[in-house]
Amino acid sequence: MNNENNLINYIGSNEMKIINECVKDYDFVTLYYYIDSNTHSSNLFEPPYITYELIVLVKNKDKYMTQAFTKKRYISEFSPLNINETYNQLFPLDFTSYKLLIEYPLIDIGKNNGLYTLKEAHELKKIIKKIDLPNEILNLVISYIINDTYDLEEEEFFFTNKRSNSCKFVGEYYNILSKKVFIQLRNKKD
């Protein structure tokens, strides 16, 4: 995948070390890599630089874990400054303890946006159908709670900074990077 919102083909050895460290004990889910060249225009107190942004999402049994990293790269006139630049992890925000990954409530974020697994949607429908109301009202309640369903056997999560109507919207990643990053579901065959 090489498009303007996820530059996977530009990942270098520094990024691969970070990714391998994050994935070491977990199952890889997806990652996001973006090079933001607009930062130089908004910061007049530092030499011009570009920002590299990397997000890794992994799975441990039923829990999803994540980490976001950023790194500055100065223009060639200030290249000595690049020697000290490394990827900085952004989580946990409290800096009280070192954790490489933090738990990410991906499934709960999907449920907050009305996205359920097929099994969960079926169970919810059974519970709601037990309420003694006309079917039209029950169907309206169901459509309000369940916007869409997914099956992880056939679909996969991915990061993007442009929402696609052809994919299922899961939610928005933490708003800490230069662009909004969205999590969506797509068919594994695509």
Each residue's pLDDT expressed in tens, for the chain with a length of 190 residues: 334 445 667 788 889 999 999 999 899 999 999 988 876 666 677 888 888 999 999 999 889 999 999 999 988 888 899 998 999 888 876 655 677 899 999 999 999 999 999 999 999 999 999 998 899 999 999 999 999 999 999 999 999 989 999 999 999 999 888 889 999 999 998 7
Is 74 domain-assigned? yes
pLDDT of residue 109: 96
> Do 25 and 36 fall within a single domain?
yes
Record the tokens describing residue 73, joined without a space: 């790269």
127 by Cβ neighbours in 10 Å (0-12 / 13-18 / 19+) ranks as exposed
> Do 155 and 138 fall within a single domain?
no
Domain encompassing residue 99: 2-104+151-187
CA 91 distance to own-chain centroid? 14
Residue where the block lists tokens 């952004």: 90
Q: 82 CB contacts (<8 Å, ≥6 apart)?
A: 73, 74
pLDDT of residue 97: 62
Is 25 domain-assigned? yes
Distance CA 190, CA 183 (A): 16
pLDDT of residue 149: 96
pLDDT of residue 4: 44
pLDDT of residue 134: 92
> Do 56 and 22 fall within a single domain?
yes
> Do 51 and 119 fall within a single domain?
no
Is 54 domain-assigned? yes
Distance CA 169, CA 184 (A): 5
